[in-house]
Amino acid sequence: MQWLAFVLVLLLPAVALAKPKVAVAALDNDADGKITSVLVDAADDHATVTKPTKVEKAMDKLSLSELDKKALKKLRIELEVEVIIHGKVGRENGKRHVELVLSGKGKKQMTIDVPIGSPKSLKKDLSKRLDKKIEEMTGGDEDPDEEDQPKKLSDTSDDKPKKHADDDRPKKHDDDDRHAKKHVASDEEVSASDEDTGRKHHRRKHHGDDDAPRNPMTTGAVWADVGAEVARRTLTWSATGTTRPPHVGTAAGAARIGGEVYPFAFDSPSGGPAGLGFYADYARTVGLSIAVPGTTLKTPIKDGHYEVGARYRFVFGDTSIAVGGAYWRRYYMADRSSLMMPTQLDMPDVDYAAFAPGAEARIAATPTVAAFLSFDVPLVMASGDIQSATSYGKGTVIAFDVLGGVQILLGPHYALQLAGAFDQVGIKFQALPNSLAQTRGVSAATDRSYGVNATIGILY
């Protein structure tokens, strides 16, 4: 078996040298170069690859700004490769994909269109598609209709091609021969002309195009998440005298769900109707109860909050700012059915309802981490039992709601969100006659809720 190993050692370099030579140009609309890098790795499985940096230097040397038919031929001669792979990162129906063109000698071209998934799956798909295409594209003769390009400096031959006796044949026969040898294009081959391809492949410089990669956490079309929250609620009083009501304080875990959608932003994140979006958020505590003073009883508490609204989003690169308004509700109500008298629990229920104008900002810290901050100013229209005539009565209500945190991209369409929330509703009572605000010396109440939450979301 030693002789077999020796033969393999001799053959492996020859096999390596036999690999076709391919150049990969930087893809349009690939701002961070990640997709281009995956393409280089995939092509390297089947060919000796000239990388995009060398291709770009060659284009600068030849003063090429576009990869049209003539430019491609010049570039192949300069780089001494058989095939040039070029193209762009595109977006269709909200999904990104790679559009590639393989340009070989003469008019030979083939296209490849591959959806973008994870880097691992994209490399696998590209490698599989490039395998046969590179093999089919290599070899062949230059198109005789193309202009002769200047020889490389290394080519010092002064020999002129010898005139063949048949060259004096009538031109008609030349045309007949040319038609007889004409290549029949396969389904995946395309003409090199701009009219047939419908576009020219420019060098990577269009960072502001609608097809340019966008951060799905800051300018995405869809975000939907679900998770858990731990929150504490307190109700404190500003009062004088000995009959002031007791402070309230409870903490519990809650289930949380939320999301937003910009239905016209799948193709482009901004402009016209693309900025219109809708959002919702809901959280409800689980197993919350409060001890009734002077008894051994615990009363269940229904505690939750939600909002549903619309926003208009403005996009500035990887940063977005959205403004809008929502129907906003927050409640904290005790189940007194097990009590002999409802007044055994000295605590007013609250059920706030408001229209809440607000704004939200999202900023990309890195390609995989984004920060966000939202601020609402609920214009409270109702407060529930706490402001009824038999309770503490009418008053002036001022409220605000803040939510902020980070999103961490876990995959192409998944992210972890970590956030903190703070909400405050302040009531300044009028202390009308016969109200509890007057009889118990209460001038104001402050209702606060604050907590942290962690959710897993999907995004597009």
According to DSSP, the residues that pair with 218 across neighbouring strands are none
Residue 162: what pLDDT?
44
**Could you report the per-residue pLDDT of 124-177, keeping only the tens digit for each?**
999 988 988 888 887 555 555 444 443 333 343 444 444 444 444 444 444 444
Q: C-alpha angle 404/406/407, rounded to 5°?
A: 130
DSSP strand pairing (109-115 vs 414-429): unpaired
Lowest mean per-residue pLDDT among 17-26, 118-127, 247-256: 17-26
* pTM of the entire predicted model: 0.58
Residue 106: what pLDDT?
65
pLDDT of residue 370 exceeding 50 = yes
Sorting pLDDT into bands at 50, 70 and 90, what band is 16? very low
What is the percent of the chain with per-residue pLDDT over 90, rounded to a whole number?
59
By the 8 A CB rule, do 419 and 377 touch? no
Residue 141: what pLDDT?
52
Tokens of 41: 């790795």
By the 8 A CB rule, do 101 and 108 touch? no
pLDDT of residue 199 exceeding 50 = no
CA-wise closest residue to 450 among 424, 418, 416 = 424
Which is more confident, 143 or 385?
385
Sorting pLDDT into bands at 50, 70 and 90, what band is 412? confident
**Could you report the per-residue pLDDT of 350-364, keeping only the tens digit for each?**
999 999 999 999 999
Residue 213: what pLDDT?
61
**Could you report the per-residue pLDDT of 292-323, keeping only the tens digit for each?**
988 889 999 999 999 999 999 999 989 999 99
Handedness of CA 15, 21, 26, 28 (dihedral sign): negative
The H or E element that residue 380 is part of is strand 379-382
**Could you report the per-residue pLDDT of 39-62, keeping only the tens digit for each?**
999 998 888 999 999 999 999 899
Counting every residue, how long is the chain? 460
Q: What is the DSSP secondary-structure string of 402-433?
A: EEEEEEEEEETTEEEEEEEEEEEEEEEE---T
Distance from C-alpha of 235 to C-alpha of 445, rounded to nearest angstrom: 7
What is the percent of the chain with per-residue pLDDT over 70, rounded to a whole number?
79
SS percent in the chain: helix, strand, coil, step 5: 25, 45, 35
Mean pLDDT score of the chain, rounded to an integer? 83
CA 360 distance to own-chain centroid: 17
Give the position of tokens 């402001």. Answer: 387
pLDDT of residue 20 exceeding 60 = yes
pLDDT of residue 186 exceeding 70 = no
Instruction: Identify residue 108 by its one-letter amino acid code.
Output: K
- Stretch 430-438: mean pLDDT, rounded? 94
Residue 133: what pLDDT?
86
CA 255 distance to own-chain centroid: 25
Which is more confident, 242 or 386?
386
Distance from C-alpha of 83 to C-alpha of 190, rounded to nearest angstrom: 15
pLDDT of residue 215 exceeding 60 = yes
- Stretch 321-342: mean pLDDT, rounded? 95
Give the position of tokens 């294009």. Answer: 185
Q: Which residues are CB-neighbours of 372 under 8 A, at least 6 positions away?
A: 218, 360, 361, 362, 363, 404, 405, 406, 407, 419
Beta strands in 69-214 (DSSP E): 83-92, 95-103, 109-115
Phi-psi region of 294 (alpha: psi -120 to 50; beta: other; left: phi over 0): left
- Stretch 381-405: mean pLDDT, rounded? 97
Residue 167: what pLDDT?
46
Sorting pLDDT into bands at 50, 70 and 90, what band is 197? very low
φ and ψ of 452, to 5 deg = -130, 155
Residue 227: what pLDDT?
98
Residue 67: what pLDDT?
86
pLDDT of residue 238 exceeding 50 = yes
